[in-house]
Amino acid sequence: MRMEQMYQEVILDHYKHPHHRGLREPFAAEVHHVNPTCGDEVTLRVTLSEDGDTVADISYDGQGCSISQAATSVLTDQVIGQSVGAAMKTVAAFTEMISSRGNVDGDEDVIGDGIAFAGVAKYPARVKCALLGWMAFKAALAEARPVDEALAEARPLDDDDALAQASNDVEEHR
Which CB contacts under 8 angstroms, 24+ apart, belong to 48-51? 48/84, 48/144, 48/145
Is residue 172 a part of any domain in this protein? no
CATH of the domain at 153: 3.90.1010.10
Is residue 173 a part of any domain in this protein? no
Is residue 91 a part of any domain in this protein? yes
Is residue 174 a part of any domain in this protein? no
Range of the domain at 103: 3-167
3-state SS class at 101: coil
Indicate the number of domains in the chain. Answer: 1
Predicted pLDDT at 41: 97
Virtual CA dihedral for 63, 65, 70, 71, nearest 10 degrees? -100
Q: What is the DSSP string of 46-95?
A: EEE-TTS-BEEEEEEEEE--HHHHHHHHHHHHHHTTSBHHHHHHHHHHHH
Asked whether the CA dihedral 135, 136, 137, 140 is positive or negative, the reply is: positive
Is residue 22 a part of any domain in this protein? yes
Among candidates 3, 40, 24, 36, which has minimal Cα distance to 116?
A: 3
Is residue 12 a part of any domain in this protein? yes
Per-residue pLDDT of the chain (174 residues; tens, 9 = 90+): 587 777 888 899 999 999 999 999 999 999 999 999 999 999 999 999 999 999 999 999 999 999 999 999 999 999 999 999 999 999 999 999 999 998 898 999 999 999 999 999 999 889 999 999 999 999 999 999 875 445 454 544 555 565 555 555 544 444
Q: How far apart are CA 49 and CA 59, in angstroms?
A: 15
| Angle, CA of 86, 88 and 94, to the nearest 5° | 105
Q: How far apart are CA 79 and CA 58, in angstroms?
A: 9
Is residue 114 a part of any domain in this protein? yes
| Angle, CA of 117, 121 and 127, to the nearest 5° | 85
